[in-house]
Amino acid sequence: MGSWGALIMGFFGALFASMTLYAQCHKSGLILMIPFIGFGIIGLLAAYVIRQPGEGIVPSERASKAIRWSSIGEGVGLFLASNIVINLHHPEFLMPAMALVVGLHFLPIAYAAPFSPFYALGGALILFGLIGFIVAAPLGGAISGFASAGGLWVASALALRRDIHFKRGNRPIMSASV
């Protein structure tokens, strides 16, 4: 995963945080834009890294295929999960269900890449989702949403760091297949 992946994860981290503020903390207005400041910072850093000379991290064909299909599955899963929790009249489970789906989407990518940090990110998001189902509302959904946002932002920062190392030729010991 490189700078483009960091942008995607940064955006979805901001979306998780903003949705949590709205759905679990009952906030509205401009406060919902605050998480997108974090995304803006990630975007600026990603633009810097993308413009650096060098190829950076390029996913293999196998990893690209896994990313594509897993992302399609994630979109369908988010649609189904959100409709199920809303139609069952349990909107407090929206953030935990979303964390579960997003976490599950990283597992096939981790297998296809192979890139073990995706197992850690997927496992953490699944854990955050399960915590959200166990802890009583609204705290469970808030924990699930904010922890997921934080996990995605940390993964974005690490992806940017990894990509700049690859572009500078200081390749870390990890595989460059993602």
8 A C-beta contact, residue 72 and residue 109: no
pLDDT mean over 57-67? 92
Residues 155/9, Cβ–Cβ less than 8 Å:
yes
H helix runs in 24-60, sequence order: 34-50
Residue 160 has pLDDT above 90, yes or no: yes
Q: Are 118 and 109 in contact (CB under 8 A)?
A: yes
| Amino acid symbol at 102 | V
Which of the four pLDDT bands, split at 50, 70 and 90, describes residue 128? very high
CA angle (58, 9, 11) in 5-degree steps: 125
pTM: 0.90
For residue 57, what pLDDT is reported?
Answer: 84
**Residue 175: pLDDT band with limits 50, 70, 90:** low
CA distance 121 to 37: 22
| Per-residue DSSP letter, 177 | -
| 70-110: pLDDT as tens digits | 999 999 999 999 999 999 999 999 999 999 999 999 999 99
Question: How confident is the model over 100-122, as pLDDT tens digits?
Answer: 999 999 999 999 988 899 999 99
Lookup: tokens for 43: 């975007």
CB burial readout 149-167, b (16+ within 10 A) else e = bbbbbebbeebbebbbbbb
| Residue 170 buriedness (CB in 10 A; 0-12 / 13-18 / 19+) | exposed
What's the pLDDT tens digit per position in 129-156?
Answer: 999 999 998 999 999 999 999 999 999 9
What's the CA gap between 150 and 173, in Å, rounded?
Answer: 25
Q: Domain segments of the chain: what residues?
A: 3-167
